[in-house]
Amino acid sequence: MPKILFVCHGNICRSPMAEFVMKEMISKCADSRCADFEIASAATSTEEIGNPVYPPARRMLASHGISCSGKTARQMTLRDYEYYDYIVLMDRNNLRNLRWILPAEIYEKECAGNGKVSLLMDWTGNSRDVADPWYTGDFTATWNDVNAGCRAMLEKLLQ
């Protein structure tokens, strides 16, 4: 059963969008293996802990028929790293911030690309950051990135 944790800075925009987009894709997946996926999201920072999904992100999900009701921000822990099979980051800053969460030897392994951490857009073959709507205000660009990344990841995991 693949266990995926999507991670961004505050866990109020990009990572919850990825969490709920992937959950939606899995709920519509005809492959019986999709029933075994476990999906969640978290932050690298403590800034938004306990806050709900940012209203424009919530509206973007809702405009596509996806609810994120009840989701509140939480910070990633070492236990999360140990539990999840895939730690999927939204940008390179998230990787830098993992240095405060992971032991040095694990962090160094991940920075060298020898672990379970990836960027979401790596799954598309286009290694770049997911557009951050907190700064850009462009939730459509983020929606497009998240959908492309989740779709590519799901296809690769089912191969």
Give 77-127 pLDDT, tens digit per residue: 999 999 999 999 999 999 999 999 999 999 999 999 889 999 999 999 998
Under the banding of pLDDT at 50, 70 and 90, the label for residue 141 is very high
Task: Tell me what pLDDT residue 113 has.
Answer: 87
Give, in degrees to the nearest 5, the angle at Cα 107 between 71 and 134. Answer: 40
Question: 70 and 100 in contact (C-beta within 8 Å)?
Answer: no
For the stretch 50-72, pLDDT in tens is 999 999 999 999 999 999 999 99
Looking at the DSSP bridge assignments, the partners of residue 39 are 4
Alpha carbon 156 to its chain's center: 16
Under the banding of pLDDT at 50, 70 and 90, the label for residue 6 is very high
Please give the structure tokens belonging to residue 156: 């690769």
Under the banding of pLDDT at 50, 70 and 90, the label for residue 148 is very high
- Selecting among 13, 14, 58, 91, the annotated active-site residue is 14
Task: Tell me what pLDDT residue 110 has.
Answer: 94
Residue 151 vs residue 36, higher pLDDT: 151
DSSP-assigned letter for residue 39? E
pTM above 0.85, yes or no: yes
**What does the mean pLDDT of the chain come to?**
96
pLDDT over 90 (residue 131): no
14 is catalytic: yes
Please give the structure tokens belonging to residue 52: 């709900």
8 is catalytic: yes
Please give the structure tokens belonging to residue 56: 């424009």
36 is catalytic: no
- Selecting among 13, 58, 68, 132, the annotated active-site residue is 132
Q: Beta-strand (E) ranges in the chain? A: 3-8, 38-43, 86-89, 117-119
